[in-house]
Amino acid sequence: MEELDSEPTVTLIPGVNSQKKQMCFDWGPGEMLVCETSFNKKEKSDMVPGCPFIHIIRKNEDVYSQILRKLFNESHGIFVGLQRLEEELTGKSRKTQLVRVSKNYRSVIRACLEEMHQLAIAGKDPAIGRQFSIQVSSLSAMELIWNLCEILFIEVAPAGPLLLHLLDWVQLHVCEVDSLSADVLGSENPSKHERFWNLPGNTQTLTELELKWQHWHEECERHLQDGTFASSPHLESLCKVMLGDEAALLEQKGLLSTWYHFLVTRLLYSHPTVKPTDLHFYAQSSLDLFLGGESSPEPLDNILMAAFEFDIHQVIKECSIALSNWWFVAHLTDLLDHCKLLQSHNLYFGSNMREFLLLEYASGLFAHHSLWQLGVDYFDHCPELGRVSLELHIERIPLSTEQKALKVLRVCEQRQMTEQVRSICKILAMKAVRNNRLGSALSWSIRAKDAAFATLVSDRFLRDYCERGCFSDLDLIDNLGPAMMLSDRLTFLGKYREFHRLYGEKRFVDAASLLLSLMTSQIAPRSFWMTLLTDALPLLEQKQVIFSAEQTYELMRCLEDLTSERPVRGEPDAQQLQDDDVETTKVEMLRLALARNLARSIIKEGSLEGS
Amino acid sequence: MFVARSIAADHKDLIHDVSFDFHGRRMATCSSDQSVKVWDKSESGDWHCTASWKTHSGSVWRVTWAHPEFGQVLASCSFDRTAAVWEEIVGESNDKLRGQSHWVKRTTLVDSRTSVTDVKFAPKHMGLMLATCSADGIVRIYEAPDVMNLSQWSLQHEISCKLSCSCISWNPSSSRAHSPMIAVGSDDSSPNAMAKVQIFEYNENTRKYAKAETLLTVTDPVHDIAFAPNLGRSFHILAIATKDVRIFTLKPVRKELTSSGGPTKFEIHIVAQFDNHNSQVWRVSWNITGTVLASSGDDGCVRLWKANYMDNWKCTGILKGNGSPVNGSSQQGNSNPSLGSNIPNLQNSLNGSSAGRYFFPPLDSPRAGSRWSSYAQLLPPPPPPPPPLIEHSCDADTASLQYPHPRRRSLSRPLNPLPENEGV
């Protein structure tokens, strides 16, 4: 495909003097920041800040329009349906379906158009009305182009029906065509015309039609040559019109608002069985005749002409610039691609035009706080770069509420986007920790499968417990399940809480052996052993013997390990422990309790075995 | 493209940098007035300055956000020879009530003996790491081993570049196939024509950064440098701001072909070079998907560059100062972009937003008598010669409006009122 030269769009930034200053900028996910600056650090002369404003630049305005959002929402459903159509149907029923899809798209445009039009005429402010009517004009151009593409590329109407479709097309899009045709048709011999125009019916072949039409045409010509209508100039010009005389038609240019209206009229009277392949010839000459060198073709003319030439790529290219609206080109291209009409062009990154346009459209949707959800499905149907684009976009969605975060996570989880899931959960875990919401932080870090962070949050829980003597978020900790295995510290937290539950339920023996195992299996951090041993104290003081002799030895070993290593390691905790009278007393109390329990357990075990 | 809002920055001197956070809900600005300001976007879309504080004892060149996985963390660098790391503190109910947030300095990085010209956080998969570069020609890489304790940063690497450094860029690729990589640019303007861009790669074995490549063709002062997001490609894309905008691709040569253990070698190609800024180019930066490059230059414009699917790079948009003051002193601009009166170009409203201006010539904005505008098919079409558009605007003659005949509207099924996709 050859490139057309294009001029970039210019966006004016108020208050910035580009003659003297430069701009610094930054990209955001959906917006850009621009601010006046001066990069040349040597020129310090102009110390007065010029424009003290930061400007927020948005790329895509369409997504902020309420009415166009309906267009996006509705067409999204059609798009998704079309992607499913792919495997199901073949042959004729497939074509019928594709035509139906095309009509659905057009009906959405038309509904939008009508709503926009209502707003345009309802508004009191003429400036707003003008804005809307520009959009109306743009939407109606889209529908006009789409309709023609539907006839030529999707219906693929053959000679005969082709003209019927084109008549419908002109009639639908040229408002005054009804009155015009009434004008023309009304005054001629209607029976003659109608009889002709019921063709080609089911009973007649195209050749028969052509013969009959030829006959009728010759008859008209004879009448004209014989001067049958010489007395009446009006009738004579009418007859010329019916013969498809170009000059006579052009005299009525005022009634034919556009060149394509002229084209269809001309075909109707001179080449009713025009073949699709000949269309471009008549289209070009109609355009030339109609413009008559007075003006040059405009973008819409070029688009329609490209369609008449069956140059689909040119249609899409021209539409891309003229409409500058990704919605139109993305959906039309996708539909034409489903019609197997696009040769695969090998593109940058190995992508193709359909995907290129869908990616652009979907990226635009992601700039919006809720339309991004539609964008996800478009990315899903871009086999080359859809996935990676979705990954880059979705992690940027602001996680303003938990509900929104869950929505984003669901999208990622459905697509096994593990890194994005991890990152989002991590962001939320970090946010929760900073706000001291430990329960939330823990559940997000479990979901992120972030062992280090789970350890960190578990430590916070344990620290809080040591300070306050109770746990928060019991529900969460009691129901950790297998998630407990994520990190040793989390396992410890869960098990330690389980100890408290057993203790509360007065299942002292179970509680005691769990407590001991926490130390002997090294799950409990050393810094926490003193707390655990202190927890053992009431169990040691129970009336019945709970810790066996062997268990008591283990406990004693743990205590001695802890107290003997303290001076060596010299940790602040240990130092504090040693210095602290309370702690010293605690150790002595523990030793006493352990010794007493050992004595009791030996006696108990001895007497049990003896009996 | 259109200006959605203009916000009075209220800095007392030149602003040197503006920076969006990861989600685009916060921004930071820094200035020669030695301060940094943080701005937050409210639910209604208004921006409010929530913190402003003196950060350095010299001009602050750059401000940048850490990834939100590490919390709310900023780094700044300054003419005062330091870089600093800042963290937002939650709590302080008084501040919250006033809508203000509180930022504390976690560390000052004082290793440089000259102005610190750039500061960038490493890609998040590398942990919380920070690179600075300075006029003394040294790139320094710092790490915070404990992400919950940002007061401890250790200087992990010092890379000597021999030339005064102006800018750095981390390669964002998280692929295991790619080692951590950092590109450094120099704005040294002494007459010796040395290459101004060097690329360093981390070597797992030596645990050091070693020079992988030097872009020999870039000999003029370089002001900014930016790796593009990787998109799963095997090669890297690097944009450079020098006397023009340049885009390079760096394709790793297969390892077995190079001497094992040494740094990766690259096939380097220049894929685009633009001198549209006329003179020096000061900044280059990629959008989040790496599909558009923005550059800012001496012509006072920001230009947007995009490759089409033929891998052909073109300027697709220009942001240009209009030289006239911002209307009034209102700090918020347009709240309704579709209808705002200071949209520079009517065409932007639907048929002219820059989105599509990519392959082709622009369409003039609808003008009086244009056939394009008269294609508003629901409006009465203008008789030839067409009168000015304004007379055909919708309020002109509603009675003559003709919708297509009902029988022709079979395809125009009524649109079901959709619940708006609000409140995500």
Q: What is the DSSP string of A517-583?
A: HHHHTT-S-GGGHHHHHHHHHHHHTSSS--S-HHHHHHHHHHHHHHHHHHHHH--HHHHHHHH-HHH
Tokens representing residue A174 in the block: 């040229």
**How far is the C-alpha of A21 from the C-alpha of A51, rounded, in Å?**
9
Nearest CB to B6 within list A23, A49, A53: A53
Burial letters A578-611, b for 16+ CB under 10 A, else e: eeeeebeebbeebeebbeebbebbeeeeeeeeee
| Chain A residues closer than 8 Å to B101 by CB | none
Contact B302 A430 (CB under 8 A): no
Tokens 């003559």 sit on residue:
B400
Query: Where are chain B's structural domains?
Result: 165-325
Q: Which residue has the higher pLDDT, B177 or B112?
A: B112
Contact A53 B289 (CB under 8 A): no
Total residues found in chain B within this entry:
424
Q: Which of A20, A54, A331 to mutate to test binding with chain B, by most B CBs within 10 Å of its CB?
A: A54
pLDDT, one tens digit per residue, over B65-117 is 999 999 999 999 999 999 999 999 887 566 666 678 899 999 999 999 999 99
Residues from chain B that touch A353, judged by Cβ atoms under 8 A, are 309
Instruction: Supply A468's token pair.
Output: 């306050």
Interface test with A, best of B14, B334, B354 (most A CBs within 10 A): B14
A182 interfacial to chain B (CB closer than 8 Å): no
Chain B residue with Cα closest to A403: B424
Contacts of A58 in chain B (CB under 8 A): 1-2, 4, 337
Q: Counting Cβ atoms within 10 Å, is residue A84 exposed (0-12), middle (13-18) or buried (19+)?
A: exposed
Identify the pLDDT of residue A198: 42
Residues of A in contact with B423 (CB under 8 A): 370
Predicted confidence at residue A196, as pLDDT, reads: 42
Instruction: Identify the H or E element spanning A354.
Output: helix A353-365
> For A65, which of B233, B338, B378 is closest by C-beta distance?
B338
User: What is the β-pairing status of strands B2-8 and B102-109?
Assistant: unpaired
Least confident of B96-105, B238-247, B333-342: B333-342
Reduce the DSSP state of residue A85 to 3 states and report it: helix
What pLDDT score does B378 carry?
39
CB pairs under 8 A between A and B: 485
Could you name the CATH architecture of B165-325? 7 Propeller (2.130)
B213: CB partners within 8 A, 6+ apart: B198, B199, B250, B265, B266, B268
Contact list in A for residue B358 (CB cut-off 8 A) is 6, 320-321
> What residues of A are in contact with residue B43 (Cβ under 8 Å)?
400
Look at residue A2 and give its three-state secondary structure: coil
| Gyration radius of chain A's alpha carbons | 41
Contacts 24+ apart (CB under 8 A), B196-200: B196/B163, B196/B220, B196/B221, B196/B222, B196/B242, B197/B222, B197/B225, B197/B238, B197/B240, B198/B161, B199/B238, B199/B250, B199/B266, B200/B139, B200/B159
Place of tokens 């040494």: B262
Q: Dihedral of the CA atoms B401, B404, B409, B414 (nearest 10)?
A: -10
The C-alpha atoms of residue B202 and residue B179 are separated, in whole angstroms, by 6
| Contact between chains at B297 and A22 (C-beta distance less than 8 A) | yes
| Chain A environment of B337 (Cβ under 8 Å) | 58, 61, 64
For residue B21, what is the DSSP state? -
Cα distance from A26 to chain B (closest Cα, Å)? 6
A537 CB within 8 Å of a chain B CB: no
Q: Is A296 on the interface with B (CB under 8 A)?
A: no
Contact B15 A325 (CB under 8 A): no
User: What is the distance in angstroms between the Cα of A537 and the nearest Cα belonging to chain B?
Assistant: 35
Give the contacts of B388 (CB within 8 A, at least 6 positions apart). B368, B369
A459 touches B: beta carbon within 8 Å: no
Mind listing the pLDDT tens digit for each residue in B195-221? 999 999 999 889 999 999 999 999 999
Look at residue A403 and give its three-state secondary structure: helix
Which region among A218-232, B212-226, B255-269, B409-423 has the lowest average model confidence (pLDDT)?
A: B409-423
What is the pLDDT, as a whole number, of residue A157? 83
Which portions of chain A are predicted below pLDDT 70?
1-6, 41-51, 63, 86-89, 174-209, 241-244, 253-255, 324, 343-351, 565-580, 608-611
3-state class of B293 per DSSP?
Answer: strand
Half-sphere exposure of A278 (CA within 13 A, CB side): 13
Read off the tokens for A275.
């073949």
Please name the member of A69, A298, A434 whose beta carbon is closest to the beta carbon of B372: A298
Is the per-residue pLDDT at B403 higher than 90? Answer: no
Q: How far is CA B104 from CA A175, B74, B81, B95, B151, in A?
A: 68, 10, 19, 14, 10
Question: Residue B298's closest chain A neighbor by CA?
Answer: A22
| Tokens standing for residue B398 | 């509603």
In the prediction, which pLDDT does B286 show?
96
Q: Token digits for B187?
A: 């704005």
H or E segment and range at residue A51:
none
Q: What is the pTM of this model?
A: 0.81
Name residues 326-345 of chain A within 8 A of B (Cβ).
326, 329, 345
A227: CB partners within 8 A, 6+ apart? none
- Chain B nearest CA to A546, separation (Å): 41
Distance CA A143, CA A123 (A): 24
pLDDT(B152) > 90: yes
Cα dihedral B9, B12, B15, B20, rounded to 10, equals -40
Report helix, strand or coil for A241: helix
State residue A73's pLDDT score: 93
Contact B90 A126 (CB under 8 A): no
- Burial group, residue B342, by CB count within 10 angstroms (0-12, 13-18, 19+): middle
Tell whether A351 lies on the interface with B, counting CB pairs under 8 A: yes
Structure tokens at A254: 């005022």
Nearest CA to CA, how far is B385 from chain A (Å)?
Answer: 9
Sequence-distant (6+) residues with CB within 8 A of A12 are: B3, B320, B321, B322, B344
Tell me the ipTM for this assembly: 0.80
pLDDT in the model for residue A604: 87
Task: Point out the residue among B11, B231, B370 whose CB comes nearest to the CB of A52.
Answer: B11
CB A70 within 8 A of CB A78: no
